[in-house]
Chains A and B, each alone.
Chain A
Amino acid sequence: MHERTTLLVPYCLILLALAGVPVLAEAQGNYEIQVYGADTVPAGNLMVELHSNFTVDGQKETVDGVYPTNHQEHETLELTEGINDWSEVGLYVFTSEQDGHGVQWVGDHIRPRIRVPEAWGWPVGVSLSTEIGFQRSAYSTDTWTWEIRPIIDKAIGRWYFAINPALERTLHGPDVNQGLGFAPSAKVSYDFTRVVSAGFEYYADYGALRNFATTHDQQQQLFLVTDLNVSPVWEINFGVGIGATGSTDHLIVKAILGRRFDWGRHSAMD
């Protein structure tokens, strides 16, 4: 735990200096609901993931031109290619389906990521991803955004812990002058068997880092999740989440189905 503290202190000091104002612009999240682990995709491998999220009980009104989230089905295709044993690049294609709006393309993001190589033998997994992308104004008034996400994780026996203290910044949109926002997420899970793990995932958006939004305007979500570890090449995750504040969608169900493909020609000699 000492290592985690050491890493976070300078990071937070920098962010405090850059922080902006507290008001949150209207935007939809919930396209990729996932707490990142520190591992990267192996070199020469392509990870294909489909994130399926349905808002059972969400925003029912159009606000600032942004469509309501209630009963929206979000399908996000995530493609991640492993570059080497310490980096990867991910690409997202966000879509939304909703009565009255049909199937809509929402936007795209690109996400490079680096990690501390396993050979360094650090006691915790550490990686850093940055994500930049566009989303249509019908789904977010801030159309261009950037995120930097430190990732720290650790498996201890049957327990797994991960924390992603992410920072977001608007590049184009109403919040462009509002500085960095703080959007942390975290996960705790327990391995009931070799295949079945279950636990909780927490997602939040506190607004501007130096001046958090009011509780009502913050987003706070807690998901009960399960991971099925059926194979090293498959990723299966299900969850049900509730929103705890007035600005959060109240009930969401999510699923992640991923499959890793190894394009490289490998032999026993490699």
Chain B
Amino acid sequence: MISRRNLLKLSGLAAVSASLPAVTQEAAPPDYRLDIVPATLELSPRHTLKTLTYNGQAPGPLLRFKEGQPVTIEVTNHSDRPEVVHWHGLFLPTDVDGALEEGTPPIVAGGTARYTFTPRPAGFRWYHTHTMAMGDLTRAQYSGQHGFLMIEPRDNPARYDQEFFLALHDWDGHLLASDDGAMNPHYNVSTINGKTMGAGEPLRVKQGERIVLHVLNSSPTEPHWVALAGHGLRVVALDGNPVPSPQTVPMLRLAPAERVCAIVEMNNPGIWVLGEVRKHLQAAGMAVSVEYANQSGAPQWQQPTDLIWNYQQFAAAHSDDKAADSPVIIPLVFESKFRGHGAMELWTINGKSYPDASAAPLQSGQRYRLQFVNKSMDDHPLHLHRHSFELHRLGAPLGAGKNPAPNRIRGIVKDVVLVDSQTQADVDFTADNPGATLFHCHQQNHMDLGFMMLFNYA
């Protein structure tokens, strides 16, 4: 159902040109055009891969919107199947959010749609296909359909000399038996911005510059840790939202769909490697060189010895009494169902898979606490559409009396959070964007197999 508010906002809707050709032909020129087209990507001189892309490239073109300024993107689907583009991290109406489950119309094969909306909130977002791959490890998020989206704030306080957008992605997947007894995707090639180490252009910097890295993990299923040899990374935003306590860290961890913005002071001249810290993934290609001006030689790498990351370090240092509210608690228990050693697992939320999984209707304006109880053997990057949430508590081990409850976290606002296996995580959000709201694990194979649920507003 389209509300009056949404109708006023959506000048063209996400209409399908096949059914409404006149709308497309007579409308004013869009601000941006995206063409969903197959393209042959040269990931490296040894690896070429034919996949679906936006405008023939992966990642797709960087889109820059102004916060609060309406924008229209025209998308033409040149593929042979219906598509939909999700504007990840934005507070959008259901008609244009880009999830079929919420009611966004599909773009039929050969059709064109217009997404018109007022982008908010400001920050580093992204766009990607929101289709299902099921067992086809070339479709959906396994393909090249992802791109950067930067919502510029009305008043940009950023102080930097250069910015770089980096997408981490895994390609050429196949199913293999895993230690959990089920089949899971494994990949032959891993890239940054669609290129393996040495196959793409380096990041060129100058001594004394202050650069900002906007890092996106667009991998269909894999978390990634990245470091820049010889440099610390000062994390200033998670999922595009400024953190209360920026910290300089040796490496970043990004679950699928997460973003990190980090500032780097270029004060160590040389040729350095920015890449996955795990050796087999860097060997699979996930790295890029960072070259200071007037420097030469082979890129240098400094191998870390441990994987280091936690969200809590970026939280507000002191309690905020205003946040001591009493949200309505929604427990969500995640489990898997074994379907044989030759199959991927089926996923359930509170014992049911999509579309049967459900929760009580949300009351507009109410504050809620989602209690993620991850009883499965996998970690899950959980995403809530059309809203942001604030981390409340993470890493509580399941089972009474095992460990004291972890400290409360304040001030970290995200739209994806990685919940570790056998732990509970709590996040809070305010139901302030009425309409069907999709919640799901952002691992493509998990959302394909049941790990989704729709929240509906009363």
Contacts and interface: CB of A to CB of B under 8 A. Distances in A.
Interface of A: 39, 118-119, 121, 154-160, 191, 193-194, 197, 229, 232, 267-270
B404 interface: no
A157 B342 contact: yes
Interface stretch (B48-56, B159-167, B272-280, B440-448): B272-280
A266 to B, nearest CB: 10
Given A191-B340, A191-B341, A269-B303, A155 B278 contact: no
Interface in B323-365: 338-343
A270 B280 contact: yes
B284 to A, nearest CB: 10
Interface in B162-176: 172, 174, 176
18 contacts: A155-B177, A155-B340, A156-B340, A156-B343, A157-B339, A157-B342, A158-B342, A160-B341, A191-B338, A194-B338, A232-B179, A267-B305, A267-B306, A268-B307, A269-B278, A269-B303, A269-B304, A270-B278
Contacts of B186: 118
B319 interface: no
Contact of B278 (A39, A159, A193, A268): A268
Contact of A159 (B177, B181, B188, B342): B342
B306 A118 contact: no
Nearest to A119: B188
Contacts of B279: 269-270
Interface string B167-200: 0000010101101010100101000000000000
A159 B342 CA distance: 7
B277 A158 contact: no
B420 to A, nearest CB: 14
Contacts of B172: 121
B238 to A, nearest CB: 22
B181 A229 contact: yes
B256 to A, nearest CB: 19
Given A158-B339, A194-B181, A269-B278, 15 more contacts: A118-B176, A118-B186, A119-B188, A121-B172, A121-B188, A154-B342, A155-B341, A158-B340, A232-B179, A267-B305, A269-B277, A269-B279, A269-B306, A270-B279, A270-B280
Interface of B: 172, 174, 176-177, 179, 181, 183, 186, 188, 277-280, 303-307, 338-343
A267 B343 CA distance: 29
Chain B contact residues: over half helix, strand or loop, or mixed? loop
Contacts of A232: 179
Given A269-B278, A269-B279, A158 B307 contact: no
A140 B339 CA distance: 45
Nearest to A227: B341
Contacts of B174: 118-119, 121
A121 B138 CA distance: 13
A35 B210 CA distance: 62
Contacts of B277: 269
A269 B341 contact: no
Contacts of A159: 340, 342
B341 A193 contact: no
A39 B178 CA distance: 12
Contacts of A267: 305-306
Counting from the closest, the 9 A-B pairs by CB-CB distance are: A155-B342, A158-B340, A121-B174, A157-B340, A232-B179, A194-B338, A157-B343, A191-B340, A156-B342
B341 A229 contact: yes
A81 to B, nearest CB: 20
Nearest to B172: A121
A158 B174 CA distance: 19
B338 A193 contact: yes
Nearest to B189: A119
Contacts of A155: 177, 183, 340-342
A118 B179 CA distance: 15
A207 to B, nearest CB: 34
Nearest to A39: B177
A269 B176 CA distance: 21
Contacts of B307: 268-269
Contacts of B339: 157-158
A209 B342 CA distance: 34
B301 to A, nearest CB: 12
Nearest to B276: A269
A159 B339 CA distance: 10
